[in-house]
Amino acid sequence: MLQRTPLAVAVATLLLGSVALAQELPPQADNAWFTEAQATLQERLARQLNTSRAKNVILMISDGNGVGTNYATRLWHGQQNGNYGDENVLPQESMPHLALVKTYNVNAQTPDSSGTGTAMLSGVKTKAGVVNVNENVSRGDCSTVMDNALTPITRMMSDAGKATGIISTARITHATPASGFAQSADRNFEDDSGLPEGCEVPDIATQLVTAMSEGWVDIAMGGGRRHFLPAEVTDEEGQAGRRTDGVNLIEQAQAAGARYVFDDASFADVGSLDDGPILGLFESSHMQYEYDRTGEPSLAEMVEASIGALQGAEQGFFLEVEAGRVDHANHAGNLHRVLEDGVAFAEAVAVARELTDESDTLIIVTADHEHAIAFNGYCGRGTPITGLCHAIDGEGVEYLADTLELADDGRPYSVVGYLNGPGSVIRKEAMPPALSMEADHEQGGGEGTGTDMAMNDADAEPAPIGTGGDVVAQQLLDRLDITTETDEAGNSTDYRWIGSRGPLTQEEATDPDYLQQATIPKSSETHSGEDVAVYASGPFAHLFDGTVEQNFIFHVMHHAAFGAE
Amino acid sequence: MSRTSTRRRWLRDHLAMAGAIALSPVLLSRSAPVPAEQATAAVRLRELYEKDGSFSALAQSLAGKRVPVRGFMAPPLKADAAFFVLTKRPMSTCPFCESAAEWPRDILVVRTKRRFDVLAFNIGIVVDGVLELGTETDPGTGFVSRVRLTDAIVERV
């Protein structure tokens, strides 16, 4: 049985009622951690549930920004602002309601963005790789799309009289934004060039322009110009289109009354919807990473312009926002760009909250999935999140500047690593000539060399493996795990996958182009099936609680907009 | 007997003579690595470009001169080509975000002095060559480049 000490009684009393707060204070009551937690408690106790109908709904998705990636962004953002990082609060983290989200697709433990986008925008989970069709459709099979199509919430919002917008820093035809307006058997059907023969379902770019022409998408901004232009047409930046049907969808949209903007200058005059729908295509492919951005608007600027244009709608608006390149930088294993785009997303969240009223606007901030990102320890407070892990200072707070944590190989390591990806320390190495029969032969190894003997003796029986050197050599050879590859010209090369972690300095690790170390070699780092968070404010945001299925997000938006009194 | 088993047998026999020292990762490199301080002193690809894609003052000052540049070897466009593309970060492809190869803007074409050994896309290298600025189309492949290093020698970091 627990013993109740006087201190425990005091704390219990303190926590049970504010009346007792001033009377029985524990010794830690003056501690800043204690008082700040008490302030948070009072703020939470004062919260009122908002059960009003949502006039406006904003769904903000940071692609690939799971709990881990978001944590890294929190630290980066804080450290950029001069604090240790841990204590920092991102704009989405100050939102009052939160749940964890299970992101798997119907057929995938590790989800993809079109399956997750469909869950959020249409309310049902489906297979990986398909857009707004149910799980009866096999990926790539156009023939079953029409019988299994799902209606995205964008259409429902528009039918209810709301203005709608979809913006992304990825191509606007990419999986997540496409989930806001398209139905497709494959997310890669971004233009007609990829459609299978006989496919009667229009490509994703065509569907967007159709939706704008029909009037149920009022704003679409992002990258992806090439999917709207014929191959024989070059865009404003000299890049060729990808369409093979000769159709210029930008001209089609303009003919239907849309205004087309393509850079930061034309974007500056984007104006309101009074002058027609807005089509912004700022890059041939994806928009630039925030770190590299020039000549095109930021995500926050696109959010500001979109809300400004949509706010004039009498019945309110629906806006889908995607930070598409957090995901891409994670795929590349380049944490610096992940975090720069993560902060750009956070700034967009802040803008959305500032420009709207929590009483009538439901804002949902989430990710579609996480990545194979992981965090090493034990790092001292304030250790640069993109850099090497510094040791903890037992006598102080800030990390020990002169002491790096070392692995068993004697090398330092970065705080963040990836389980797989291009930063892998295991690399594909060609066998050196001294160990490669093919290489020696090409170089004309002299008569009587080991190479020639082997080549000339190709059909002979192998020498029996005896003892001593033969056995050791065979064991070593087995460990080498050699793979032979033959190129188009018929040249064979022996490879092995081998790795060790070389020396690494803090300057190198914090370089913007550095790839964090990974374990399993893959040219592109993968998603993971780990949960993501959903943050929410506004009408019915309190429905986000506990751990939910991803498609539940649609149902909260739908209820807040249509189901509430 | 298959070529692979022949190769393996030869390697086994050869290794018996060469001894375990031949398995050292250092010796598995095809060429001696560039010393760390030399690699650090090499120009970074990003230093040749401004954000808007124009050439930097550094690039213009180095045009026509022999310059060491750090980067990574993108997978060659075709076998036996005497040129490859240098990228500032390992050129990875993403099956979930790209339907075709995406070349970043800030790349550099390398024309080598002699046939080079292909290295994996994520092995750091320093390329020492004569810097050329200006748009040019490779007659063999049609690849358009804006910056080149010619008469180049490739060394791994």
Strands A532-537 and A361-366: antiparallel
Which DSSP helix (H) or strand (E) runs through A76? Answer: helix A67-80
Cβ–Cβ < 8 Å for B22, B15: yes
Average pLDDT, integer, range A531-545: 98
**Spatial separation of the C-alpha atoms in residues B121 and A314, rounded to whole Å:** 54
Torsion over CA: A506, A511, A512, A514 (sign): negative
Question: Are the Cβ atoms of A527 and B97 closer than 8 angstroms?
Answer: no
Between residues 47 and 86 of chain B, which touch chain A (CB distance below 8 Å)?
51-52, 78-80
Average pLDDT, integer, range B16-26: 40
Torsion angles phi and psi, residue B107, rounded to 5: -120, 175
Write out pLDDT tens, residues A280-317.
999 999 999 999 999 999 999 999 999 999 999 999 99
Percent of chain B with pLDDT over 70: 64
**Is the minimum CB–CB distance between A158 and chain B shorter than 8 Å?**
no
Reading the block at residue A125, the tokens are 């989970």
Burial class (CB in 10 A: 0-12, 13-18, 19+), A13: middle
Closest CA to A292 of A334, A257, A250: A334
CA distance B121 to chain A (A): 8
**Is the minimum CB–CB distance between B20 and chain A shorter than 8 Å?**
yes
**Is the minimum CB–CB distance between A265 and chain B shorter than 8 Å?**
no
Q: What is the pLDDT of residue A450?
A: 32
Q: What is the pLDDT of residue B79?
A: 62
Average pLDDT score over chain B:
75
Percent of chain A with pLDDT over 70: 89
pLDDT > 70? residue B35: no
Average pLDDT, integer, range A459-488: 67
Nearby residues of A483 by Cβ (< 8 Å), 6 or more positions away: A494, A495, A496, A497
Average pLDDT, integer, range B37-62: 86
Average pLDDT, integer, range A370-381: 98
Q: Which of B4, B15, B30 sits opposite A484 (nearest CB)?
A: B4
Average pLDDT, integer, range A525-554: 98
Q: Longest Cα pair distance anywhere in chain B, in angstroms?
A: 60
Which DSSP helix (H) or strand (E) runs through A417? Answer: strand A416-421
Q: Which fold would CATH assign to domain A56-372+526-563?
A: Alkaline Phosphatase, subunit A (3.40.720)
CA distances from A224 to A61, A168, A172, A198, A488 (A): 18, 10, 6, 24, 34
A contacts of B11 (beta carbons < 8 Å): 435, 437, 477, 480, 482, 494
Residue A533 β-bridge partners: A100
**Is the minimum CB–CB distance between A390 and chain B shorter than 8 Å?**
no
Reading the block at residue A324, the tokens are 């598409």
pLDDT > 90? residue A36: yes
Give me the residue label for tokens 């149920």. A216
Average pLDDT, integer, range A140-168: 97
Average the pLDDT over each of A122-131, A173-182, B13-22, B38-47 and give the range with the smallest value: B13-22
Residue A423 β-bridge partners: none
CA distances from A548 to A101, A103, A219 (A): 5, 9, 30
Q: What is the pLDDT of residue B40?
A: 65
Q: What is the pLDDT of residue A22?
A: 55
Q: What is the pLDDT of residue B130?
A: 96
Write out pLDDT tens, residues A395-424.
999 999 999 999 999 999 999 999 999 999
Where do you find CATH 3.40.720.10 in chain A? 56-372+526-563
Query: Is residue B134 left, alpha or beta, with left meaning phi > 0 and alpha meaning psi from -120 to 50?
Result: left
Burial class (CB in 10 A: 0-12, 13-18, 19+), A53: middle
Number of A–B residue contacts, CB under 8 Å: 149
Q: What is the pLDDT of residue A468?
A: 63
End-to-end Cα distance, chain B: 39
Q: Which of A429, A462, A489 sits opposite B80 (nearest CB)?
A: A489
CA distance A348 to chain B (A): 22
Write out pLDDT tens, residues A213-261.
999 999 999 999 999 999 999 999 989 999 999 999 999 999 999 999 9
Chain-centroid distance of CA A402 in Å reads: 34
List the domain boundaries for chain B.
1-30, 31-156
Q: Which of B30, B95, B99 sits opposite A430 (nearest CB)?
A: B30
pTM of the predicted structure, to 2 decimals: 0.87
Edge-to-edge strand list for the sheet holding A259-261: A259-261, A278-281, A219-223, A163-171, A317-323, A56-62, A361-366, A532-537, A97-102, A547-549
- Position with higher pLDDT, B93 vs A317: A317
- Position with higher pLDDT, A356 vs A441: A356
Percent of chain A with pLDDT over 90: 81
CA distance B27 to chain A (A): 8
**Spatial separation of the C-alpha atoms in residues A284 and A170, rounded to whole Å:** 10
Q: Longest Cα pair distance anywhere in chain A, in angstroms?
A: 98
Q: What is the pLDDT of residue B93?
A: 59
A113 in active site: yes
**Spatial separation of the C-alpha atoms in residues A174 and A331, rounded to whole Å:** 15
Burial class (CB in 10 A: 0-12, 13-18, 19+), A73: buried
| B97, B98, B114, best to mutate vs chain A, most A CBs in 10 Å | B97
pLDDT grade for A154, boundaries at 50, 70 and 90? very high
Write out pLDDT tens, residues A84-111.
999 999 999 999 999 999 999 999 999 9
**Spatial separation of the C-alpha atoms in residues A510 and A384, rounded to whole Å:** 8
3 state SS for chain B: CCHHHHHHHHHHHHHHHHCHHHHCCCCCCCCCCCCHHHHHHCEEHHHHECCCCCECHHHHHHCCCEEEEEEEECCCCCCCCCEEEEECCCCCCCCCCCCCCCCCCCCEEEEECCCCCCCCCCCEEEEEEEEEEEEEECCCCCCEEEEEEEEEEEEEC
Question: Are the Cβ atoms of A434 and B1 closer than 8 angstroms?
Answer: no
Residue A471 β-bridge partners: none
Catalytic-labelled residue, pool A113, A158, A168, A537: A113
Closest CA to A78 of A327, A301, A339: A339
Q: What is the pLDDT of residue A377?
A: 97
Nearby residues of A58 by Cβ (< 8 Å), 6 or more positions away: A307, A318, A319, A321, A352, A356, A361, A362, A363, A364
Q: What is the pLDDT of residue A494?
A: 85
Q: What is the pLDDT of residue B82?
A: 79
Q: DSSP labels for A17-50?
A: -GGGTTTS--GGGGSHHHHHHHHHHHHHHT----
Residue A166 β-bridge partners: A220, A320
pLDDT > 50? residue A132: yes
Interface ipTM:
0.75
Average the pLDDT over each of A160-164, A473-477, A519-523 and give the range with the smallest value: A473-477
The string over A353-385, giving b where at least 16 C-beta atoms fall within 10 Å of a residue's C-beta and e elsewhere, is: beebeeeebbbbbbbbbbbbbeebeebbbbbbb
Which DSSP helix (H) or strand (E) runs through A100? Answer: strand A97-102
Report, in angstroms and rounded to the nearest whole number, the Rg of chain A calculated over CA atoms: 28
Q: What is the pLDDT of residue B22?
A: 39
pLDDT > 90? residue A352: yes
Average pLDDT, integer, range A123-147: 97
Between residues 482 and 501 of chain A, which touch chain B (CB distance below 8 Å)?
482, 484, 487-489, 491-492, 494, 496, 498, 500
Question: Are the Cβ atoms of A295 and B29 closer than 8 angstroms?
Answer: no
pLDDT grade for A356, boundaries at 50, 70 and 90? very high
In sequence order, which ranges of A98-236 are alpha helices (DSSP H)?
Answer: 113-122, 153-159, 175-178, 204-214
pLDDT grade for A442, boundaries at 50, 70 and 90? very low
Closest CA to A420 of A292, A489, A319, A332: A332
pLDDT > 80? residue B25: no
Q: What is the pLDDT of residue A448?
A: 33
Average pLDDT score over chain A:
90
Torsion angles phi and psi, residue A173, rounded to 5: -90, 0
Q: What is the pLDDT of residue A482?
A: 84
Cβ–Cβ < 8 Å for A518, A524: no
Residue B110 β-bridge partners: B84, B149
Q: Could you tell me how many residues make up chain A? A: 565
Residue A102 β-bridge partners: A549
pLDDT > 60? residue A512: yes
Q: Which fold would CATH assign to domain B31-156?
A: OB fold (Dihydrolipoamide Acetyltransferase, E2P) (2.40.50)
Reading the block at residue A32, the tokens are 């800043």
Reading the block at residue A306, the tokens are 């979109």
Q: What is the pLDDT of residue B136?
A: 86
Average the pLDDT over each of A319-333, A402-416, B143-157 and give the range with the smallest value: B143-157
Question: Are the Cβ atoms of B30 and A432 closer than 8 angstroms?
Answer: yes
- For B131-135, the CB contacts below 8 A with 24+ separation are B131/B48, B131/B59, B131/B62, B131/B63, B131/B64, B131/B65, B131/B66, B131/B67, B131/B69, B132/B63, B132/B64, B133/B55, B133/B59, B133/B60, B133/B63
**Residue B6: what residue type?**
T
Question: Are the Cβ atoms of B13 and A523 closer than 8 angstroms?
Answer: no
Question: Are the Cβ atoms of B16 and A472 closer than 8 angstroms?
Answer: yes
Q: What is the pLDDT of residue A457?
A: 39
Question: Are the Cβ atoms of A331 and B4 closer than 8 angstroms?
Answer: no
- Position with higher pLDDT, A288 vs B74: A288
